[in-house]
């Protein structure tokens, strides 16, 4: 699967499945991740320190895996968007967006790279392109690029209807930790205040044909949100999966040894 195929699957009403890479750096992990049922990965650079060279090597390794690499950039800024795409990402997740202006800047950089300045603002504000030839060229160049917008606060939820008017958004991301803090109940994911906010995000986004990612860490919560209509499924992290697998296996081995 590539970015264009992932977008086509979602546009047709299907689901795609992925996880977040928070700790992995070694490029040799990329082929391992290609055979475990993942359609995409989100590689975190917001909270995880990675150099540009390191990220470039990691993304190169994904080019032959069939897993779509998406970068969570540090802030919603066009400079970080283009750095990620230039390094080989097929998509960008821009965290904690709250305004239409932020979203326009991100989407413009994802969809119309390397156009900048007044020319790209004209596209976003009025749909006016430099020329038909330039439009065709840029659409082909960026056809695999995926623009995901992070809605992670009460203010963002309040502005979501306006945000979704921006053309070119491929997904809406919910960061549960940030959103739960914003509604007043940190990490309390069963609170109605949190769940109602996420359900509102899903309903509003799907009404515009935009799928939603809710990044939950355990099967119970991820299952719940799939049942609520999440189609851009983002489950757990490499760190958590590795830790839980070792914890489970070591507990079983200790139990076997106690029975000797």
Model pLDDT for residues 93-119, shown as the tens digit of each residue: 999 999 999 999 999 999 999 999 999
Marked catalytic residue, from 47, 79, 129, 208: 47
Q: Which DSSP letter does residue 216 get?
A: B
Model pLDDT for residues 182-226, shown as the tens digit of each residue: 999 999 999 999 999 999 999 999 999 999 999 999 999 999 999
Residue 9 and residue 149 in contact, taking contact as beta carbons nearer than 8 Å: no
d(CA 21, CA 132): 39
Model pLDDT for residues 131-187, shown as the tens digit of each residue: 999 999 999 999 999 999 999 999 999 999 999 999 999 999 999 999 999 999 999
Model pLDDT for residues 78-93, shown as the tens digit of each residue: 999 999 999 999 999 9
pLDDT confidence of residue 14: 97
Residue 194 class from Cβ within 10 Å (0-12 exposed, 13-18 middle, 19+ buried)?
buried
Residue 162 class from Cβ within 10 Å (0-12 exposed, 13-18 middle, 19+ buried)?
exposed
Q: Where are the alpha helices (DSSP H) in 164-218?
A: 176-182, 192-207
pLDDT confidence of residue 168: 97
What ranges do the domains of the chain cover?
3-258
Mean pLDDT of all residues in 16-36: 92
Q: Please, which residues have CB within 8 angstroms of residue 20's CB and are 6 or more apart in sequence?
A: 41, 42, 43, 44, 72, 215, 234, 236, 237, 238
pLDDT confidence of residue 58: 93
Query: What is the CB-side half-sphere exposure of residue 39 using CA atoms within 13 A?
Result: 20
Cα dihedral angle (147, 148, 154, 160), rounded to 10 degrees?
50
pLDDT confidence of residue 220: 95
- Angle of helix 78-87 relative to helix 52-62, nearest 10 degrees, comes to 50
Model pLDDT for residues 37-60, shown as the tens digit of each residue: 999 999 999 999 988 999 999 999
| 208 is an active site residue | no
Average pLDDT along the chain: 96
Collapsing DSSP to helix, strand or coil, 149 comes out as: strand
pLDDT level of residue 35 (50, 70, 90 thresholds): confident
pLDDT confidence of residue 260: 81
Class of domain 3-258: alpha beta
């Amino acid at each position: 699967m590539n970015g264009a195929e992932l977008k086509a699957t979602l546009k047709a009403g299907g689901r795609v499945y992925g996880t977040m890479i928070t700790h992995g750096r070694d490029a040799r992990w990329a082929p391992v991740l290609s055979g475990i049922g993942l359609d995409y990965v989100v590689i975190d650079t917001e909270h995880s320190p990675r150099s540009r060279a390191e990220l470039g090597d990691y993304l190169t390794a994904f080019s032959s895996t069939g897993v779509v690499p998406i970068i969570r950039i540090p802030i919603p800024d066009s400079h970080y968007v283009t750095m990620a795409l230039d390094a080989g990402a097929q998509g960008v997740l821009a965290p904690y967006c709250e305004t239409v202006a932020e979203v326009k800047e991100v989407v413009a950089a994802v969809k119309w790279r390397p156009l900048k300045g007044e020319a790209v603002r004209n596209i976003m504000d009025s749909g006016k392109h430099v020329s038909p030839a330039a439009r065709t060229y840029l659409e082909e160049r960026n056809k695999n690029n995926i623009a995901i917008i992070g809605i992670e606060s009460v203010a963002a939820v309040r502005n979501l209807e306006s945000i979704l008017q921006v053309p070119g958004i491929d997904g809406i991301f919910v960061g549960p930790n940030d959103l739960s803090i914003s509604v007043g109940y940190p990490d309390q994911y069963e609170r109605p205040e949190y769940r109602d906010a996420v359900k509102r995000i899903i309903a509003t986004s799907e009404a515009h044909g935009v799928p939603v990612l809710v990044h939950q860490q355990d099967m119970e919560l991820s299952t719940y949100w799939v049942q609520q209509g999440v189609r851009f499924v983002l489950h757990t992290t490499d760190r958590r999966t590795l830790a839980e697998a070792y914890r489970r296996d070591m507990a079983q081995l200790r139990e076997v040894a106690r029975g000797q």
